[in-house]
Structure 1
Amino acid sequence: MAEPSPPSPSPPNPNYVVPPTLPGDQPLPSPPGSDPQPRFLFPFPKRPFLRVTSEYDSDSSIFLHKVSCKLFDSLAKLKLSFQNNNKGEIAEPQVAFSSKYLSIHYDVEEQNALIRSSFDVGPRLHLRATHDVKAKQGEVAMVADLVEPGYALELSSPVPTVGLPIATFKFPLGEISLQEREKGEEVKRTLSVNGIVKGQVLNGVCTAQYSEEELKLRYTYK
């Protein structure tokens, strides 16, 4: 037998009245001040933290002032230092900028800047450079850390380059360097060995320094 079909829906009652919407059923407007704060695509940088220190030297009657602030989320530091006497005269103003890889020291009176830079070339290889702007001189050095801690091999050369680079072997008790020198009136270039070794002997420190074919020994008792 065929299943009976479901009954058809009854027509709407014309006497049915939809109740009106009460005012309390409508959503209330949000109170003032509750709107979420606007979000900026690029946040404003924070104001740098400023630090001011002053010291007084009673012997020379001079005030030492330092003003420093950190920049770029403490990635760099800017420092201003100067001195003034009891007459209010400012002397030796200097400006310094320092970061992890670069530092610039500017002398206002001398109008000279000393630039230093250092960064890692590899896991055990480091590059260091120094340049004096006014003297137009500097130095470039490559340092290689050896397997054991405290041991390193350094190759350094002045800028402008004169002769071969200086090779220096560093170890925990001192260092030994090999460099080229000019000797004699005919300007002959020879290799010279310089070194310094320092170690503790009994209750003191013994230092042996070899430079320009001279050996100097020094013992300091503590």
Structure 2
Amino acid sequence: MNHNRNNQPFSIHFLLSISASKIRTPLNLHILLPHRFVQILTIGFIPEFQITNEAMADSATAPPPPSPNHIVPPILAPPLPTKPAFTFPRRPPIRVTSEFDSDSSVFFHKISCKFHEKLAKLKFSFQNHTNGDIVEPQVSFISKHLSIHYDVEDQNALLKASLEVGPRLQLRAVHDVKAQQGELLMVANLAEPGYALELSSMVPSVGMPRATLKFPLGKVSVEERAEEELRPTLSINGILKGQILNGVYTAQFMDEDLKLRYACKDDEMSFIPSISLPSNALSFAFKRRFGPSDKLSYLYNFDSNFWSAVYKHTYGKDLKFKAGYDSEVRLGWASLWVGDEVGKAKTAPMKMKVQLMLQVPQDDIKSSALMFRVKKRWDI
């Protein structure tokens, strides 16, 4: 190995073996070294590479590597949003419901809103006639355990409260401020499901509390009734239900009256006879369903020979047509409901329910009347 003070280039020979084409290609690398280093440096190095067509295509199109002197700017995180020093509370949603009945020519309005995460509701309702007079304004505060209903015209308040003493005991109270009267109620759920005992008493008390026992087949109530110039007597009222064959019987007794009813039903037909004792008033109801959209109902009273019939046809969920006749008042009628008849306005299309009714008296057809009822709700 010889040293030389002059700078001379030297070569490093690499032998590249390409297995795909079996070609050995020498690679020459010239490096200029200072004079104080070795003049000639020999490296025997033959690397083996396998180059495929795919790799060659990638290397041909790949961009050149970045310069080592290039500095990549750091990625800065977006600034966090600053919270305002003071925020106004969000306004609770307000619901406005208006209803008009052409028969009485009276508007009924109700404005309500829920607040404190729907824990309570504030409601204001009133009626007004077509001449603009406002009548029966009422303000109500309704929550789970306390409700206050205030009548502005009478300047009276009705208070209702409930308290859960335990998992099986609940206390309820109703008080009329102006009349100074109320009612106390205690409900105790027994160990068996479907059984409950209720004790209620008027305030101020006028006798023994009324006791009601509820069970899966009905309920029985016992209360004391005071009559003039007579001793107080016990009155027993109740309802009993049970199943016989393919029907359900119901026995309802109140004071000295007893009403027996039996309902036999299937998917297409219902037959419901009933009798009242001791008056022996007998009646029966017949219902026939002709399909999922058509139904006919008929009721006949044997003691008075009065009867009534109603035909109903539904067009989907929100459209219903009904027509009927009542022999007791000698009146024929037909009505069209837009929106669920028994549902609320919020479930109807456009949150609006409309009823059109035509009444035709049998004795005076010229006095027929067309009436309508509209109920609309707005969410503000």
Q: Compute the TM-score of the two structures, normalised by the length of structure 2.
A: 0.44
Equivalent pairs counted in the alignment come to 187
Which of 1 and 2 has higher RCO (CA within 8 Å, sep 6+)?
Answer: 2
Task: Tell me how large the CA RMSD over aligned residues is.
Answer: 2.7
The 3 A distance-change label for structure 1 pair 199 and 109 is farther
How far apart are residue 73 of structure 1 and its match? Answer: 2.3
Confirm or deny that 1:116 pairs with 2:160.
Answer: yes
Aligned to 1:14: none
The structure that has the greater radius of gyration is: 2
Give the unaligned 5+ runs of structure 1: 1-32
For residues 11-48 of structure 1, the C-alpha deviation after alignment (integer angstroms, 9 at most, x for no partner) is xxxxxxxxxxxxxxxxxxxxxx97832566xx754322
1:37 to 83, 95, 99: 83
Confirm or deny that 1:191 pairs with 2:234.
Answer: yes
Match for 1:214: what amino acid?
A: D
Aligned to 1:92: 136
Identity within the alignment, %: 65
Q: Which moved more, 1:212-221 or 1:112-121?
A: 212-221
The 3 A distance-change label for structure 1 pair 68 and 160 is same
Aligned to 2:102: 58
Confirm or deny that 1:139 pairs with 2:183.
Answer: yes
How far apart are residue 121 of structure 1 and its match? Answer: 0.6
Confirm or deny that 1:157 pairs with 2:201.
Answer: yes
Match for 1:166: what amino acid?
A: R
Runs in 1 of length 4+ with deviation above 6 angstroms? Answer: none
For residues 110-159 of structure 1, the C-alpha deviation after alignment (integer angstroms, 9 at most, x for no partner) is 22222111121101111111111222111101111122332101111110
1:105 to 125, 135, 149: 149
For residues 45-87 of structure 1, the C-alpha deviation after alignment (integer angstroms, 9 at most, x for no partner) is 4322222222222223322211111122211001111122221
Q: Compute the TM-score of the two structures, normalised by the length of structure 1.
A: 0.72
Partner secondary structure for residue 110 of structure 1 = coil
Aligned to 2:259: 216
Partner secondary structure for residue 206 of structure 2 = coil
